[in-house]
Each structure stands twice: as structure tokens, then as C-alpha cells.
Chain A
Amino acid sequence: MSGVAGGDEVMMCSFRAGAGLFGIDTRQICEVLGAMASQPVPLAPRYIDGVVAYRGEVLTTLSFRALLGLERRAQGSCVLVLDDEQSEERFGLVVDEVGGVVMMELSKFEANPSTLDERSMDLFDGTCRTESGLMVRLDPARLRPSRLAATGLFGKTRQVQSGGQG
């Protein structure tokens, strides 16, 4: 690991979704956008929040709450623009609230607890204790929308109402 943090430290951007505290390596975050009105996409999987305009592109956003199995929140959400290492896919992650940047020692990270449910096991990338509680580390590569679709863990498309009688 490089940067001012020294050999075994890493800068994490912390954020909240529901009751949980999460963190993503800052190097994998392109930009933190404030609250943005996303346009919902009909027939898309439930975990897709919608699309937002971002620097001349159409950015697909994920609802992290939906991924955790929580109800959607009407407002006050915040969009993180993530880039996985290969820059294959840029996408947005909608979270409740962005905290700040914290330095973490890599050695403090522990693997996912073995009792975790299957979905969380797939999403999470280890945990770490902080002063404000347990922080779950996320890996953007695992959150890519196309990968999520391929796992099949997060539900198919939203229910379509039957085409006949209204």
C-alpha cells in the first residue's frame, strides 16, 4: 500500500446505510456527489436505484439499502461514484449519509464472520473495529451491477403487473 498512510495503513471513506457503518478505500472513489435526483428505471432489478447524469455520462446507481434488504429512503441520500480497479464499469452507490475519511491499519481487518448470511457474505469484504463501532469494508469490484446480476442473489427484476386488465 502506498501514500502518506505508510505501509500498512489505508484511507477509508466511511458512510452509513441503515444502522450499519461501512467503508470503502478512498482510492476507489471517484467522487462523492451530494443528494441527487435519480431517475428510476422500470423493470430493472430492485437493487438498482436508477440513473443519474454524471459528467456527460449516464451513471447507473445502486441502492445500498436495497442490497442490504432495507426499505428505500425517500430523501437525504448521497451518491458515491465508484470505479473498480480495471475501470471496466463506473457506477454510483446510493447510501444514507457519508461520514469522513478515516485511517485504518490493514492488519486490523478481520475476515467476514462465518455465520453471516449468504448475501452479506457476498457483499462484505471483512470488518474492522473503530471508535464508533464495527466498520464493514466494501470492495467496489464486488458491487459492480453486472456482477450482482450474475450472482443471482439479489433478486430478479421487479414484478411486472400483468398486461391485461388494469
Chain B
Amino acid sequence: MQELTREFIAESQEGLERMELCLTELEKRPNDGELVAEIFRTVHTIKGTTGFLGFSRLQTLAHTGESVLAALRDGKIGVTPALISGLLALLDRLRAILRLIEETGAEGERSTDDDAGLSSNLVELRTRDAQLPIPESAAAVPRVVEQADALPTSAEAPASQRRTLRIDVEVLNRLMNQVGELVLTRNHILQSEPGAENFAELARRLNNVTGELRETVMQARMQPAGHLFGKFPRMVRDLARTCGRQARIEFEGQETELDKSLLEAIRDPLTHAVRNAVDHGIEPPEERMRAGKPAEGLVRLRAFHRGGWVVVEVIDDGAGIATERVLAKAVERGYVTPERAASMSQHEALQMIFVAGFSTATKVTSVSGRGVGMDVVRANLEKVGGNVELESRAGFGTTVRMRVPLTLAIVSALVVRSGGQNFVLPQSSLVELVYVPRRDRGKAVERVGEADLYRLRESLLPLVWLDRLLGLEQGADAEVRDAYVAVLEAGGRRFGLVVDGLKAPEEIVVKPLSAALREIGMFSGATVLGNGVLALILDAAAMGVRAGVRPAADAGEISGGPKSARAGLKSGMESSMVIYETWKRRTGGMDRGAQMALPLSAVERIERVSLNQIEWADGHAVLQYGGELLPLEDVEEAMTELGADALATILICQRPGVQPKRRVGMAVRRVLDVSEGTLLAANADLPGGQLAMAKSRVTTVHREFVGQLELQEVA
């Protein structure tokens, strides 16, 4: 295929994608002239280029479309559903021809294609008084019906879109610059004498250049999640019509960026989830009215970053899933015993939907209202190291939450030691680290039968000893020395992995293992550590399974205590908070700081920073942190008490509601705990924030972050 043609196809496909979005938008805002102009431009461009390239079929169709749009632009006809459907049908045809050209090099004509019919339909739309209700154009509907039942296929997106990537020339220039810098640094290193004095400086420069280069390459690969969302307004519109629903779709966090390859990986699962939401989630209008809901259902797509993950949620306000029915089916199909089913928590029961073959075999759709091929969704996500969760409240709607890592090749990880060997734990599965000193071991570790449990904030955590699990040699003092517990969460299981020691966190490059070693199933790869030694990367989910840890919902039942928020539906208004002691004196004048809290989701890291690193700009304390200037709070108090050279604990927090992401550093006396807390009613008398109840003690939530907690609760 000619270069020119290929370019034309890529451009036209992008144009059509925009046009699709504009058309669905136009239906909502029929008087928006800008939208019409945009659509007009797209069709006009296609018409112009096709004439030049000699694709007469495309040209004829585009011309017909253009004349309809011209009439629309000039106000001769108005926007009607029929007009939109007609134009969408035209768009589909244009797209199909483009795909044909891409595959065969010629636009050809299939016997099923009826260009003349489509054209006459459009001409009719132009001439007829469009204000009259016109029967739905037949062209679009049958195709949609087909689609509604089919599993998501990758064929939907044209191949060229997956292979090519548009990169800002600016980014490319930066890449080139950095590569140049890298070459210079290499030359410098090669020419310097062994043991040269400036070696440390060279190493630092190499480190900087590599870091920047990596970041730029990553950036070039990053794509906004909005690219995924583009096709959904159309899909929801068509599906809603086919299924007799009223639905609209809303987006949030389109600018959230994720790696190109992961974007592709999440495309099909997302399509599937949205389709399910409209098809099975949202009830027919009458039913919704009866339930006191607006006739029009709402599907919300929400993308955001959280702790090294990209989270994409599909939230509908439909009927939700009746867990009893899911369980009944599961028992009927023999997936669980009736006794087991009876003891399942709601969250756990919902996850049954992900069991392979659960839905396809039983047509659960008609019973529970959800579930075609959710196992496929899960499998697709797990392939790229992601996962999926389902939350549902009968009568209020369902949330499908998909999580994928930011990138695949380079991951941040923690190096741990066990049995004299180094292992790597990906940060993505790491929740927190707990140090259990020798003298506390007896107290902290409790034993029930063969199982060891650790009491972590009012709930019992099953412990897994890494050395025992892997059959490693244990030192003679294994029972009495200090231990570290890495609290892991993966595959719905939450457990504490006991290791002998922790080493520095590192950014590792993941290398695959040979087939013979993959078979062991405990290692997801290997990496070369900074000191040149190889280390195996542990697969947290597999370890949990191997050690026989039951999925998280169970753990809550065992402990009998309050269920943690992760273990299931957020019960009422609970959310996780970091509780800390501030440097500000308590009003009582005692020698301790006031107790404050921040939402856990806002805290990115906890750093120990030497106070002499802090600089002052215009009377404000700032810290150079990861290439940005971090404003600091409460530093003066820390300095007066500690002196200028001491280490201070800084919470690196994300400012809520500010885009692009802005961070702020909070100097704290010490971090006390992470705990579930409940926001109390607002109190105008309190300038510092709002009160919250955490671990049956009253805590003040930092005023800037109160909104975030409220948001979480609404979500």
C-alpha cells in the first residue's frame, strides 16, 4: 500500500472517531454550530482526499453526507434522531470501506453493500421536513443487535490504530537530546582514567540522563484514557435503543494517562463492561420510574491513578445484582457447596460471577442481570497484571472496577531477604510493611492450629513464612529473631508475608523466565539488581493461593471484627485515614502535638527528609522532590524543635481537586496509624478541619482534604 494511502486511512479513521463523538454530542446539543462545523470538516476532508486518491465510492458517499451536513449547517433542516442515525450509518459505511482499503488496497464493493440505498436515505433526510418524526432508519439497527450479543472482538478497532502512535514532536526532540546527552556521558566515562576522581560525578550524571530518558520514553508511550472513551457515547446510544433503555454516559478523568499497550489491553474488557451496564444493568424506563429513579439511566466511566495503578471504573445506577440468585446458580452448577454459599459474604458471592464458564453456561443474564463472559474480562486483565472487582447494591447499581499497572517493563519493587536469598516484591501488591521486633513476636503472632496470625489493627492477618513456603533453609534462630511482615494483597487475598529482612526499594527491569521455571508458578520473572545479582520476582497472588489463604472477604469473617473497607462494600461512611501527630502544639499546652488525619488515598509516600535540604522561597518552605518543587507545611515548628540538621517525617500528599496533579509535603511529628474512620458532621467552629471518628477516638481531618473523603463516600 502506498505511504499516502496509509496516511490517509489513519487520518480519516481519527477524523471519523471525532465525528462519531460529535454526532452523539450533537443529539444532546442540537444548536451547537461548532459541532456541525467539525463534522462537516471531517467529511469534507475525506471527500477531498478520496477524489485525489481515486476512491470514487468513498467520494460519492462523502459528497452525499456533505450536502446533508451543509443543509444542517445552514439551518435548512434540524437535528432529529433519524438524522443522527442516518449520519452514523454513513459513518459506519465510510469506516467499513476504509478497513477494506486497508486490507485489500482497493475499496471494492461487497454484494451486501447498498451505497445507493444509503445515499437516497440521506438525500431524503435532507429534502424532507426533518421536524416530522421519521421512522428509524433501518441501516443502523440490525448491526447493533448483532453487536450486543457478540463478545468483544479486537477486530473492531482498525489494525493501523494499534500499530502506530502519534507522538508530539517536542517529546521526540527531547528524546533525541537525551540520547545525545547519554552518548556524551558515555564518551566521558570511556575517556576517564580508572579510579578517576570525578567518577562519582559521572555516575550521577549517567543516572540523571538514564532517568530522564526513561521518563521521556514512558511519556511518549503514555496515552490519555480518553482515547478509550471516544467510542462509548455512540455505543451506549445504539445499545440503549436496541434494548429499549434510556441511557447516557458520562466521563471523568479522561486525561488520566496510561501506557499504550495497556490501553489496548483494557479496551475490550471496558467495552464489555459498558455493554453489560446498558444491556443488563440499567432497567427499562418504566421500571426505573416505579423505583423512583429518573427514566434515563446513567453509566459513568471514571479513570484515575491510585498507588501505581490505573483504575477504570464503570458505574451504573441500574438494578444491581441480587447476590442470592448468583449464589443459587453457583450452587446449582456445583461451583460451591450450599454450606459454603451460606457462609459467603456479599462481596465474595459477587466475585462468583468471574468464575470461568459461570455465566455463559447458565445464561445468568436473565436471572441476575449481569455476567456474560465476565471471566473473559478477568482473564484479559490478569494477562497484563491487572485485576477486576465488582461491587453492587441491589436496586442502586453496580460498579466494575478494573485496575492495570502503569507500565509493564519497569516496575518499582521492594527487595526482601529470606533464607539467605534476595527476592523481589512488586510494589503493586504491597500494602504496607510491619516490623515485628524479637521481643514482641510472642505477643503479636497468634497461632490457631497450624496457622499463624498477626493482629494488625483489630483484624487478624494470616501469616505466610516465605522461607517455609519456598522450602528454603531456615537459620537456627528462625523462631526468635526479628521479622518483617509485608502485607500483600493480590487476587483478592490479603496476607502477611514474613521475611528476614528488607532491602532498599528499587526500580527493576522485568525479565521473563524460561518455561521450565515458569511452571513452578511462584515467580513472575527475574531481574538483575543494582549490585549485579539476579533476584527472582515473587508472584504475590500465586503465593497466596499456594499458602492456602482464603480470599479477603473470608478473613474479615474469621476475625469477627469490623470488616475492613477493602474486604467488601464500603459500609456506610467509612474510609481509610492516616492518623498522625502534628508539630503544632495542642491548645492545652501539653508536650505533644494534636492528632490529625488525612485520607489514605491522598498520601503518596512517607519520607524521612533531612531538614537542611529544605529551601526557602519567598518565605515559604519548599523541597526539591522528584524533579518538582514541593511546598511544605508545618516545617517551622519542626525546625524549632529538632534543629536544622535533624531528619523529619514528611507526608507527601496529593492536593485534592487540583489538576494537573500537585503535591504538598506535610511535616509531621510521627505517623500514628492507618485506620478506618468516619467523618462527623461539619462544625463551623473548627477552623482546622472537620472532626472524624477513628478507632473510637476523635480526630481532626485536615481541612484541605475533607472534600476528598466526602467524595469517596459518595462514590
> Which A residues have a C-beta under 8 Å from some C-beta of B?
37-45, 48, 51-53, 56-60, 89, 91, 145-146, 148-149, 157-166
Contacts and interface: CB of A to CB of B under 8 A. Distances in A.
Nearest to A90: B514
B516 A53 contact: no
Contacts of A52: 534
Interface of B: 419, 421, 450-451, 464-465, 468-472, 474, 478-479, 511-517, 519-520, 522-523, 525-526, 528, 532-536, 547-548
Nearest to A45: B516
28 contacts: A37-B533, A38-B534, A39-B526, A41-B536, A42-B421, A42-B536, A43-B520, A43-B522, A45-B516, A48-B517, A51-B513, A51-B536, A52-B534, A53-B528, A57-B511, A58-B512, A89-B515, A146-B514, A157-B520, A158-B471, A160-B469, A161-B471, A162-B468, A163-B468, A163-B547, A164-B450, A164-B451, A166-B465
B468 A48 contact: no
A18 to B, nearest CB: 23
A37 B474 CA distance: 21
A13 B532 CA distance: 29
Nearest to A59: B514
Given A149-B519, A165-B450, A166-B478, A60 B513 contact: yes
A61 to B, nearest CB: 10
A145 B450 contact: no
Contacts of B517: 41, 44, 48, 51, 60, 145
A44 B547 contact: no
B537 to A, nearest CB: 10
Given A41-B536, A48-B517, 13 more contacts: A40-B421, A42-B470, A59-B514, A60-B514, A145-B516, A160-B471, A161-B468, A161-B471, A162-B468, A163-B468, A166-B465, A166-B474, A166-B479
A163 B463 CA distance: 11
Nearest to B522: A43
Contacts of B470: 42-43, 160
Contacts of B548: 163
Given A40-B421, A164-B450, A166-B465, A48 B533 contact: no
Contacts of A89: 514-515
A91 B515 CA distance: 11
Contact of B471 (A56, A57, A159): A159
B514 A163 contact: no
Contact of A166 (B468, B523, B528): B468
Contacts of A162: 468
A148 B523 CA distance: 20
Task: From B519, B528, B535, B548, name the one whose CB has the most chain A CB atoms within 10 angstroms.
Answer: B519
A58 B511 contact: yes
Contacts of B522: 42-43
Contacts of B472: 42
A155 to B, nearest CB: 13
A89 B512 CA distance: 13
B534 A39 contact: yes
Contact of B534 (A48, A53, A148): A53
B465 A60 contact: no
A130 B26 CA distance: 87
Contacts of B535: 39
A56 to B, nearest CB: 8
Contacts of B532: 53
A149 B471 contact: no
